[in-house]
Amino acid sequence: MKRQDVYLKNYKKQRPTYTFGAKVIKFFSKKYKIINLNDELVENNCIFISNHSAANGPLMLTLNLPFKFVPWGINDMCQKYSVRRRYLIDIFYRKKLKYSKFRSFAIGTLFAIISGYLYRNNDVIPTFTDVSLKSTMEKSIEKLKQGENILIFPEDSSDGYFEVLTKYYPGFAMLSKLYFKKTKIDLPVYPIYISKKKKVIIMGKPLFVNRMLEQKFTLKEIAEKAKNITNELYSTYVNSN
């Protein structure tokens, strides 16, 4: 039976219990429609890759997807208050979201207070742009071996967030490659597009990284293909309506 343009009502919910704050946010937030393009869906031990949807994506995916996952997050947001605050003000709100200096300062200062708890509560795995990325991979592989799912936001947001994605980094493909090397399991990688405007989450058919590596794709080429597939989800199910 084709499970297209429907909510994922028949899948077992595996999310951890929401905190009181998350329940309040969910109560006041409009529910997202989920479009699933898969006849079957692996409910654990897989990788999800999604656009960030500006500041909206991570929280809305947490509140609306009917299964548990462990997200990747920038290392700065996993550090002490002063580091989180500086990153939020100078990088996230000012540079990426293009907020004014005052708005960035006000929101960044406030969110830095609660973000530490949120990141710890969601068991976020910190990511790096140097050799410390090895620890990200090791922690992710352990989570996958425990049957967890990993959620990764691979888009290049150095110049901000865009509806049509411009570049994906290949970290998710590297993780899949390393996991296969250790376990001989080629994990499904599900591309996701989330739209705040349309209040919809589209889940595409999985990529299998190691099959593509056998076909002589490079990690960068796999990332490019994943980006293009995600943009197709946008053009077909978001921009066409």
Task: For tokens 């100078």, name the residue.
Answer: 90
* pLDDT confidence of residue 28: 59
Is the per-residue pLDDT at 75 higher than 70?
A: yes
pLDDT at 45: 87
SS3 74: strand
* pLDDT given at position 5: 38
Given a cut of 70, whether residue 13 has pLDDT beyond it is no
Q: Is 134 helix (H, G, I), strand (E, B) or coil?
A: helix
108-127 pLDDT, tens per residue? 999 999 888 888 888 899 99
Contact criterion met (CB below 8 Å) for 157 and 93: no
pLDDT score for 59: 87
Sign of dihedral through CA atoms 165, 167, 171, 173?
positive
pLDDT the model gives residue 21: 55
Percent of the chain residues topping a pLDDT of 70 = 86
The whole-chain average pLDDT of the chain stands at 88
* Distance separating alpha carbons of residues 70 and 140, to the nearest angstrom: 8
Contact 149, 85 (CB under 8 A): no
pTM of the predicted structure, to 2 decimals: 0.88
Query: How far is 47 from 59, CA to CA, in rounded Å?
Result: 17
Domain residue limits, the chain: 20-237
**155 falls in which pLDDT band (50, 70, 90)?**
very high
Question: pLDDT confidence of 8, banded at 50, 70, 90?
Answer: very low
What proportion of the chain, given as a percentage, has pLDDT over 90?
A: 71
